[in-house]
């Protein structure tokens, strides 16, 4: 299950490298007034002896806020034409999500802060003896965020395989976008730092000239599926993974660049893709999508969801969630997103569930049951129950759950849930559930 609204593009800008450096690449020390302080020979020799830094080293790294943050060295590579110690390092900021992992130059690292590299198994064993059960649970929860379905061995394998971003940037339409995560593109693309996507058929190429030649031949001006919704400049296309296999696979490759925990579905035949577009006189430009299993035993009405970075914080993620529930209503079924939800995905869904449920509770006179709320909204009963429990709006009395809907409390929670985003105009939805199609 993918994330919805993610950090702004500014948060993904590259870190400015430091200009004040000494000969070995370490950060130049300064006094309290910011004036440079000369290092003695012993200090320089000690720092030089650390280089190149080993994978697993923990050190402080200067980030885009011009402050130092703890990082762990995930990988290193030699700089072309450099000396024996001339490396750049791929680091994980231990305070932040993996989406901010990146390659940094040596001069961004504070070598005075280097910690001795400890074997991780020994470190974990020693640390676990010192932690309370509650502390250990909190660390475990953070460690497997978005991967609750994986056992420890599978999680280690996933993290090892995806630890370094293979594609740094992509070009899609009029946007150049920095990527956030590894995506398993075919081996022939292993040496590519940047990929060029056709924004309509999603074929990807290594060079700009290839894209330009392709665009002269490509006759698509929208996703290769049925338009099921058009309202103003917004359009939604339903793409059948079986009928448009290459498009579905390319969409999965693209989405994986921005979703850490997404499973890459090579067998896209089983899925429908709902691609949201902004339309103008040049065509229909993809802004995001969600996928959905054609037949789900678990009542999943959404498998994966993504709003592309240039279009985030405009309400599109909320629109996609609302759209998935409108399809469930058309099917006459309750729905729920596939688990596990990412951290940001869970926040978006809780916001949606809160707004929908509390709007009904505000207007409703008299008693209403969880089942009635579920029938009205197509939200699964379990999601309604957990949402109301999180908001402390439900109590268990005499063997049954009772909703406590004080108007002032509802207003407070609604305000905290934020705006609902773009509205889905159901009258503009022209759609037949998959089971009825031949």
Q: What are phi and psi of 251, to 5 degrees?
A: -65, -40
Question: What 3 state SS string does 201-265 have?
Answer: CCCEECCHHHHHHHHHHCCCCCCCCEEEEEECCEEEEEEECCCCHHHHHHHHHHHHCCCCCCCCC
Q: Is 293 a catalytic residue?
A: no
363, burial (CB in 10 Å: exposed 0-12, middle 13-18, buried 19+): exposed
- 351 C-beta neighbours (distance < 10 Å), count: 22
In the structure encoding, which two tokens stand for residue 76, read together?
């290193």
The DSSP secondary structure of 87-140, one letter per residue, reads EEEEEEETTS-GGG-EEE-GGGEEGGGPPPP--HHHHHHHHHHHS-HHHHHHHH
Among residues 417, 235, 410, 388, which one has the least CA distance to residue 318? 417
Among residues 195, 178, 254, the alpha carbon closest in space to that of 10 is found at 178
CA distance 298 to 32: 61
Q: Which of 5, 39, 102, 338 is catalytic?
A: 338
Give me the sheet containing 283-293, strands edge to edge: 226-231, 234-240, 271-280, 283-293, 304-307
Calculate the alpha carbon distances from 194 to 91, 127, 179, 205, 437 in Å. Answer: 20, 40, 10, 9, 40
How many other C-beta atoms lie within 10 A of the C-beta of residue 347?
Answer: 15
Distance CA 313, CA 116 (A): 42
Chain Cα centroid distance, residue 69? 22
End-to-end C-alpha distance for the chain, whole angstroms: 29
| Residues 47, 44: Cα–Cα separation, whole Å | 5
Long-range CB contacts for residues 241-246, cutoff 8 Å, separation at least 24: 241/265, 241/268, 241/269, 241/270, 241/271, 241/272, 241/273, 242/268, 242/269, 242/270, 245/269, 246/203
Total count of residues recorded for the chain? 438
Residue positions annotated with a catalytic role: 338
């Amino acid at each position: 299950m993918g994330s919805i609204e993610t950090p702004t593009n500014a948060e993904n800008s590259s870190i400015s490298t430091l200009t004040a450096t000494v000969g070995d690449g370490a950060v130049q020390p300064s006094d309290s007034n910011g004036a440079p302080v000369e290092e003695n020979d012993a200090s320089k020799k000690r720092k030089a002896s650390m280089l190149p830094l080993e994978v697993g080293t923990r050190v402080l790294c200067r980030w885009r806020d011009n402050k130092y943050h703890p990082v762990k060295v995930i990988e290193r590579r030699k700089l072309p034409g450099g000396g024996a110690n001339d490396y750049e390092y791929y680091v994980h900021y231990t305070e932040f999500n993996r989406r901010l992992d990146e390659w940094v130059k040596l001069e961004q690292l504070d070598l005075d802060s280097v910690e001795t590299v400890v074997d991780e198994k020994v470190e974990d064993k020693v640390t676990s003896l010192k932690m309370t059960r509650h502390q250990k649970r909190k660390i475990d929860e953070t460690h497997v965020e978005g991967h609750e379905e994986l056992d420890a061995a599978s999680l280690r394998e996933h993290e090892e395989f995806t630890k370094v971003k293979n594609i740094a940037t992509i070009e899609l339409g009029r946007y150049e976008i920095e990527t956030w995560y590894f995506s398993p593109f075919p081996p022939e693309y292993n040496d590519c730092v940047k990929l060029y996507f056709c924004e309509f058929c999603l074929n990807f190429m290594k060079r700009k000239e290839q894209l330009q030649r392709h665009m002269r031949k490509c006759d698509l001006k929208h996703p290769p599926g049925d338009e099921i919704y058009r309202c103003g400049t917004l359009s939604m296309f339903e793409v059948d993974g079986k009928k448009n296999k290459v498009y579905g696979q390319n969409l999965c490759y693209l989405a994986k660049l921005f979703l850490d925990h997404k499973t890459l579905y090579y067998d896209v035949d089983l899925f429908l893709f709902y691609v949201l577009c902004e339309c103008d006189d040049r065509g229909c430009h993809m802004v995001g999508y969600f996928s959905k299993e054609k037949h789900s035993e678990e009542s999943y009405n959404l498998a994966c969801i993504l709003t592309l970075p240039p279009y985030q914080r405009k309400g599109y993620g909320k629109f996609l969630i609302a759209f998935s529930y409108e399809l469930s209503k058309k099917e006459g079924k309750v729905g729920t997103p596939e688990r596990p939800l990412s951290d940001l995905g869970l926040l978006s869904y809780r916001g949606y569930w809160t707004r929908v449920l509390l709007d009904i509770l505000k207007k409703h006179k008299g008693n209403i049951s969880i089942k009635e709320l579920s029938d009205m909204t197509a939200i699964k009963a379990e999601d309604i129950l957990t949402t109301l429990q999180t908001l402390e709006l439900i109590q268990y009395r005499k063997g049954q759950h009772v909703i406590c809907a004080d108007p002032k409390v509802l207003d407070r929670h609604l305000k905290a849930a934020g705006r609902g985003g773009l509205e889905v105009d159901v009258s503009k939805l022209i759609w037949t559930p998959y089971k009825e199609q031949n």
